[in-house]
């Protein structure tokens, strides 16, 4: 929760136009009411108590922030240039360039954590004993029932014929140069699942398999 509050404040200071704070138990199960409320209160405290919303750009003119922004922009354009040299993003993927960069960055990060160069509070610094197991939170039965009822309602409204029809239109569009957004939206409105939409596109485009990165 402390990390989320810090990250949310950083996003606001950076001028974000949209902000979402995850519930602390979201990785384990459907968020509980208490966790959802804390996530909401985190945003509300920043909005109404921190004062950062009283000016358009609280960090405007900060040499440190501007220098970091310039450095990030320069690094981004370096990547863009490299991708252009490889023939575009599709060719870069075929040559494992982004996959290799991601793998290398992950390896460097883990090395920094393992060596203590990068401090992660509670992981490699300021730990307490052997650590406590993460509790598996139980979802509020009323919330679970509500989700199940919504699922049953969605299944009852779904028409198999409409789903197959819209998926067929999507597959046909995929064989042309047409923009696929509209037929995908139609599939979703008809009640097609994400898996059904992806499977329909796979039947046209096939399935891409990454070459292992060594």
Structure-model confidence comparison of residues 195 and 30, the more confident one: 195
pLDDT, position 76 = 97
pLDDT, position 29 = 76
pLDDT, position 209 = 78
Q: Which residues contact 146 (CB under 8 A, 6 or more apart)?
A: none
pLDDT tens string 80-137: 999 999 999 999 998 999 999 999 999 999 999 999 999 999 889 988 766 566 565 6
**Mean pLDDT across 6-14:** 93
Q: CB 197: neighbour CB atoms within 10 A? A: 19
If you ran DSSP here, which 8-state letter would residue 155 be given? H
Q: Which residues contact 1 (CB under 8 A, 6 or more apart)?
A: 24, 38, 42
Integer CA distances (angstroms), 198 to 40, 49, 103, 201, 204, in order? 33, 45, 26, 5, 10
Considering the chain, what is the average pLDDT of its residues?
90
pLDDT, position 141 = 82
pLDDT, position 139 = 65
pLDDT, position 168 = 96
Structure-model confidence comparison of residues 199 and 33, the more confident one: 199
Band (pLDDT 50/70/90 cuts) for residue 26 is confident
Instruction: Give which of 21, 19, 18, 17 is closest to 56, Cα–Cα.
Output: 17
pLDDT, position 41 = 96
pLDDT tens string 41-66: 999 999 999 999 898 888 988 999 99
**Is the predicted pLDDT of residue 143 greater than 80, yes or no?**
no
Quote the strand ranges of 17-104, DSSP E: none
């Amino acid at each position: 929760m402390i990390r989320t509050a810090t990250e949310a404040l950083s996003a606001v200071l950076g001028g974000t136009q949209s902000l979402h704070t995850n519930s602390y138990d979201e990785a384990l199960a459907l968020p509980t009411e208490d966790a959802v409320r804390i996530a909401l209160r985190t945003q509300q405290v920043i909005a109404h108590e921190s004062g950062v919303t009283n000016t358009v750009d609280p960090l405007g003119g900060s040499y440190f922030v501007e220098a970091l922004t310039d450095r990030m922009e320069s690094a981004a354009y370096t990547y863009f240039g490299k991708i252009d040299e490889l023939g575009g993003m599709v060719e870069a993927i075929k040559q494992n360039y982004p996959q290799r960069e991601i793998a290398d960055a992950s390896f460097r990060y883990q090395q920094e954590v393992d060596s203590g160069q990068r401090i992660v509070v509670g992981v490699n610094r300021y730990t307490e004993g052997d650590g406590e197991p993460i509790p598996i939170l139980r979802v509020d039965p009323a919330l679970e029932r509500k989700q199940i009822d919504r699922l049953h309602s969605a299944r009852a409204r779904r028409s198999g014929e409409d789903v197959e029809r819209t998926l067929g239109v999507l597959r046909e569009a995929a064989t042309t140069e047409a923009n696929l957004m509209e037929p995908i939206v139609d599939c979703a409105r008809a009640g097609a699942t994400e898996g059904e939409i992806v499977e329909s596109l796979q039947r046209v485009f096939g399935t891409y398999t990454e070459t292992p990165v060594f």
